[in-house]
Amino acid sequence: MKKVTVVPGDGIGPEVVGSACAIIKASGAKVEFEEVLVGLRAEKELGTPLPASVLESIERNGLALKGPTQTPFGGNYRIYIERMRGGKEWRADYPSIAIALRKELGLYVNVRPVKNYPGVASRYDNVDLVIFRENSEDLYVGNERMIDDDTAEAIKRITRGATERTARYGFEYLKKTGRRKMTIGHKANVMKMTDGLFLKAGQDVAREYPDIECDARVIDALCMELVIKPESFDGLLLANLFGDIVSDLAAGLVGGLGVAPGANVGEKCAMFEAVHGSAPDIAGKDIANPMAVILSGVLMLRHIGENDAAGRIDAALTKVLAEKKHVTRDLGGTAGTRAFTDAIVAKL
C-alpha cells in the first residue's frame, strides 16, 4: 500500500478532495490516505497555516493530494516555517502556502495536462496537450527591488541545471505516455541570454530523445497558434512566467480552470492539485465540481504506476460527463458534489 498525504485545504477543498479520495478508494488503487491539516483551520487550531509536520508527512510519503488553500490578499501576510533540514535548524518565510510547499519540497516542475472531456463546454473539441513549466526560477520568483520611488526592476535568472531537469522530466513524460512532439516556448529573439539559454538547454536535452520531435516558437506566436490550432501541439516546455500565463490560456481552451488538474513534481516528492482556488462563495453547499481534483488524483495514480486504476477512473468520469445526468451546475447539470461522486463510483 502506498501512503498519500491528503491536504483537504480551505473552502470547497474538503468537499472536492473528499470526492476524489472516495473515487480513488472505489477504483481499487493500492493507496491509503494520511490526512493533515493545512490552511485557515490549521492557523486557528495549530497557530500556523502550514505546520512543519505536514512537510514531513509529504516528504515521508513522497506523495500529496492537495485541495486549494486560501491566501489573504495584500498586507504583510507571510508563512513562517521552522524545522530541521539536513541536521540543521532551518527558518524561512513565504508569501503563500502554495509557494512554501513548492520551495520547501523542491517541486521543480509544474505539469498541466490540457484535454477536452465530453460534456464540458469549450470552443474546441480536439485539444490534448501537456505543459511542463519550470517552477523554481525566472522572473516569477519575484527577485525585485526599487531603484528609487519611480523605478523598479526585477531579475530574470535562468540556469542550465534547472532548465535541463525540467526538460528531461518533460521528455521522459512524453516518452512514457506515447506522445510525439515537444515545443519549446521562448523569447530568445529579444532576451538572447536568458531565454537563449533556456532554448539551448531544452534543445540539448531534446537530442537525448531522437524519437520525439522538438520544435520551438517565440512565445507570442505560440499563444496565437494555440488559439488558432491547439490540436497541433503535444508537449510544451516553458520557463516559469510564460508557463504561468500559457497554462491558464490553455485551460481556457478546454473549459476553464474549474476542470484543470495539475502536478508539482520534485526529485523526492510530488504534489497533485486542482488549478482552481478555494471558491469561498460556494463552500459547504454541495455544489462544487470535484472534476479537477479527481483528474489530479488520476495523474497521481499514473505517477505511481497505478495505471489500471487511473484508466478506470478516467473512463468512469468520461461516461458520467457524456451522460450529463449527474453533473454539477457549472457543467450544465443539477447534481451536487456528492451525487456526481456517487455516479462515478457507481460506474467503477
Nearer to ligand NAI, 149 or 281 (CB): 281
Nearer to ligand NAI, 21 or 182 (CB): 21
Nearer to ligand NAI, 188 or 291 (CB): 291
Under the rule (CB under 6 A), what is the footprint of ligand NAI? Answer: 12, 16, 68-71, 98, 258, 273, 276-282, 288-289, 292, 330
Nearer to ligand NAI, 68 or 333 (CB): 68
Question: In the bound complex, which residue of the shown chain has the CB atom lying closest to ligand NAI?
Answer: 277
Active site residue 220: yes
Q: How far is the CB of 71 from ligand NAI (least distance, A)?
A: 4
Q: How far is the CB of 197 from ligand NAI (least distance, A)?
A: 29
Cell numbers linked to 250: 490553455
Nearer to ligand NAI, 72 or 86 (CB): 72
Active site residue 248: yes
Active site residue 140: yes
Q: What is d(CA 6, CA 302) in angstroms, rounded to the nearest whole number?
A: 17
Report the candidate in 175, 165, 157 with the shortest Cα–Cα distance to residue 134: 165
User: From residue 318, how far is each of 47, 230, 331, 347 by CA, in Å?
Assistant: 41, 21, 13, 10
Q: Which residues contact 326 (CB under 8 A, 6 or more apart)?
A: 320, 333, 335, 339, 340, 342, 343
Is residue 334 classed as helix, strand or coil in its secondary structure?
A: coil
66, 115, 187, 347: which one is catalytic? 187
Nearer to ligand NAI, 188 or 288 (CB): 288
Q: How would you classify the pairing of strands 79-85 and 88-94?
A: antiparallel
Residues found in the chain: 348
94, 140, 169, 173: which one is catalytic? 140
Report the candidate in 238, 250, 17 with the shortest Cα–Cα distance to residue 115: 250
Active site residue 234: no
Q: How far is the CB of 72 from ligand NAI (least distance, A)?
A: 7
What is the three-state SS of 296-308? HHHHHHHHCCCHH
Distance of CA 118 to the CA centre of its chain: 22
Active site residue 195: no
Q: What is d(CA 20, CA 294) in angstroms, rounded to the nearest whole number?
A: 5
125, 204, 220, 308: which one is catalytic? 220
DSSP 156: -
Q: How far is the CB of 104 from ligand NAI (least distance, A)?
A: 15
Q: How far is the CB of 278 from ligand NAI (least distance, A)?
A: 4
Q: How far is the CB of 53 from ligand NAI (least distance, A)?
A: 19
Q: What is d(CA 74, CA 178) in angstroms, rounded to the nearest whole number?
A: 44
Residues assigned a catalytic role: 140, 187, 220, 244, 248
